[in-house]
A and B are shown apart, each in its own frame.
Chain A
């Protein structure tokens, strides 16, 4: 199974996860400070800064793009409830 290294820098922890994992599936379990509201990609609460490895995340869906734009997200920010890791190394922290 393809895996990825997903690092939550605010809690200094890297988790080896299967490809396809969403950040939301991991971040709460490890105590990272990324927080969630609707958990369905609408509210923008889980805005997350991708410190490195953005290319190792799925492209934002039309819905995620709209929410990112309306929330005036920076170019390196994604919704943790939406994006999935593809492989390689990704480092994130709360926006």
Chain B
């Protein structure tokens, strides 16, 4: 984690969102790189909230461990520990659960409200103490009663972990979304109508955190959109109290496909890198074979001279991708790995994948790439082709046939096959 020296600031003060509802989080203005991968030019915040009802106080999410002192200092200004009846964990990533164990030591009577998928993570977080606490598994529609305040839960998995959920404060129409509609932007003025310009941070956060889970984000919005909402209170960045619905609409816009499909066909993208022209010959033959199927739109790209970002956009909308790579020093080439590494930003589950390539001595690259494609949750139904040095005419025909098979799998017309275990 990269940090810069923070500017000295006054001690933490709880911020009222609405009567009985306070922000009790922490500001981290010195953070520059979050979770290794995300850059932020002005830090972030870890937003925790306390909701007071006539029958008790609920704490919604906590903060990163090293900010626990600030969190407890603020919480103590709005509630006594023996008043806390509910702890809501909308997400169990460490930047939101760093103070959970200590909070439970101070308020052991608090019932922990968590999505069922979060139980395993909660066990890992609390270790042997897990059995000492009351855990309530909550699903969409379940509620936690705080007397004259009611928290209603919405199960919104994979935005961006399996256990993520949102919590809706019915009487004041505040939606606590954890990472959804959050961003890494640190500004002590806290509210979206008071802070600096965070539009870039909002979209950057979506692109790197939510985009791979587009389908799940859409399902979460389906649950959120019917709600009357006075404010959206995420766990990072500004509280969205001014025109909150515009942020939901903006999320819908961000979810739309970057590239509108022009054709009804299945789309197959073939990328290749070629040192001596052999893998490029193979790529052309694979493309020829695949293109024989009129229901498949085939595109061929030389990866060595292309930009990665637009390729990622193309792959996001494609039905299948095939990568041609030579084997150099026992590995696929860096350009191919760079593209594959960039695919973590998009959903690739269920797409068709494949690999082929020419080699000199060993030829491991094809299997390595296939393995990576499987790691990206893609299916790899046809074993890739490896050819030593330049392909012969019959070998080019093998490549065409490989392309034909890929197209058949893309269009659901592949002949069912049966093999024996021993042949694997």
Binding site for B on A (CB under 8 A): 5, 10-18, 21, 26, 28-33, 35, 42-44, 67, 69-72, 94
Whether the Cβ atoms of A31 and B416 lie closer than 8 Å is no
- The answer to the question of B374 belonging to the interface, with a C-beta cut-off of 8 Å to chain A, is yes
Q: Which residue of B lies closest to A30 (CB)?
A: B424
Whether the Cβ atoms of B120 and A33 lie closer than 8 Å is no
Binding site for A on B (CB under 8 A): 116-117, 119-120, 139, 155, 162, 349-350, 370, 374-375, 377-383, 409, 414-421, 424
Residue from the list A10, A30, A72, A94 in contact with B117, Cβ < 8 A: A72
Given the known inter-chain contacts A72-B116, A72-B117, A94-B349, please indicate yes or no for A14 contacting B377, CB distance below 8 A: no
Whether the Cβ atoms of A35 and B375 lie closer than 8 Å is yes
How many angstroms from the CA of A94 to the CA of B380 in the assembled complex?
13
Residue from the list B350, B409, B421 in contact with A15, Cβ < 8 A: B421
Chain B residues positioned under 8 Å from A43 (CB to CB): 120
Q: Which residue of A lies closest to B374 (CB)?
A: A28
B108 → chain A, closest Cβ, in Å? 23
Given the known inter-chain contacts A33-B349, A70-B120, please indicate yes or no for A26 contacting B421, CB distance below 8 A: yes
Whether the Cβ atoms of A31 and B379 lie closer than 8 Å is yes
B383 → chain A, closest Cβ, in Å? 7
Q: Which residue of B lies closest to A7 (CB)?
A: B416
Given the known inter-chain contacts A70-B119, A72-B117, please indicate yes or no for A33 contacting B421, CB distance below 8 A: no
Whether the Cβ atoms of B417 and A31 lie closer than 8 Å is no
Given the known inter-chain contacts A12-B409, A14-B417, A70-B120, please indicate yes or no for A33 contacting B379, CB distance below 8 A: yes
Residue from the list A11, A35, A67, A94 in contact with B381, Cβ < 8 A: A11
How many angstroms from the CA of A11 to the CA of B351 in the assembled complex?
11
Which 8 pairs show the lowest CB-CB distances between chains A and B?
A: A31-B380, A11-B381, A33-B379, A14-B418, A17-B421, A29-B424, A12-B414, A35-B377
Whether the Cβ atoms of A21 and B421 lie closer than 8 Å is yes
Residue from the list A10, A14, A18, A67 in contact with B416, Cβ < 8 A: A14
Whether the Cβ atoms of A31 and B162 lie closer than 8 Å is no
Whether the Cβ atoms of A32 and B379 lie closer than 8 Å is yes
Chain A residues positioned under 8 Å from B120 (CB to CB): 42-43, 67, 70
